[in-house]
Structure 1
Amino acid sequence: MEISSEDREILERLEQELWRQETRLDKQRMNQLIAPDFFEFGRSGRVWQRQDTLAAEPSSIDVVRPLPEFHIRLFDENIAQVSYDSAFRYDGVVEHTHRSSIWSRTTSGWVLRFHQGTPFQP
């Protein structure tokens, strides 16, 4: 199944949006983007539930954009997996992470249902 150029643009924009401080500080926007049953396996190994993510103190993010190795595959017309690598500076150290997100299309647009980050050394 091939993804439309419109859906590709939307999903890439949404994933990039999650890395922008202005989005992370906008509780209303985050409530729109994150599904009620969202959870994440963080790069630290911590499991984050939706309420943890929404309650987390936002911090400055120094990430490489556009997100490297960005790929999208459809499971069906309403479920997509986005994968990419992130490289961001945290306390002066660059951390590299393989990332994977599962997005689902709802009547109000795409929402993030799952995310996982796995650290790696380039």
Structure 2
Amino acid sequence: MDAQLEYLIRALEERLLQSHTRQDAEALEQLLAEGFIEFGARGVVWNRSEVIQGLLEQAFVQRTLEDFRVRLLADDVVLATYVCATPSADGTVRSLRSSVWRQQQGAWRMEFHQGTRIPD
């Protein structure tokens, strides 16, 4: 795996966790592919417009990435996996995350994302 590509994909994942990105519909549209789908940690399936609207309305909580890894699936497709740590009133909630990124017209865009909560 090219270290530069891993660094780039991690930076894109981290960008999606930043407050200013989550409050900017245009930035989110640039990062999420038109056919984007997310399987949420609670079993809900969202499309691109639902995710963007949800992020715009969501109260911001700073999340961190742990154990970040990237796997090349094709020349223009990568799978990113990591643990997302989210502070909560009950302590830190951790979830397993996976994202599929595809390079289109020179830009990497997320096609799919899934979160699965790690039991306490």
Report if TM-score (shorter chain) is over 0.5: yes
Q: Distance in 1 between matches of 2:87 and 2:6?
A: 27
In terms of fraction of residues, the more helix-rich structure is 2
The offset of 1:46, in angstroms, is 0.7
Runs of 4+ in 1 over 3 A off after TM superposition: none
Q: Distance in 2 between matches of 1:11 and 1:19?
A: 13
Unpaired runs of 5+ residues, structure 2, are: none
Give the TM-score of the pair, scaled to structure 2: 0.91
The offset of 1:60, in angstroms, is 1.1
Q: Distance in 2 between matches of 1:55 and 1:18?
A: 14
2:108 matched residue in structure 1: 110
Count of paired positions: 117
Unpaired runs of 5+ residues, structure 1, are: none
Give the TM-score of the pair, scaled to structure 1: 0.90
- Find the residue that maps to 1:70 and give its secondary structure: strand
- Relative to structure 1, the CA distance from residue 74 to residue 121 in structure 2 (aligned partners, 3 Å threshold; closer, same or farther) is same
The percent of aligned pairs where both chains have the same amino acid is: 29
The offset of 1:100, in angstroms, is 0.3
Q: Distance in 1 between matches of 2:45 and 2:68?
A: 24
1:62 matched residue in structure 2: 62
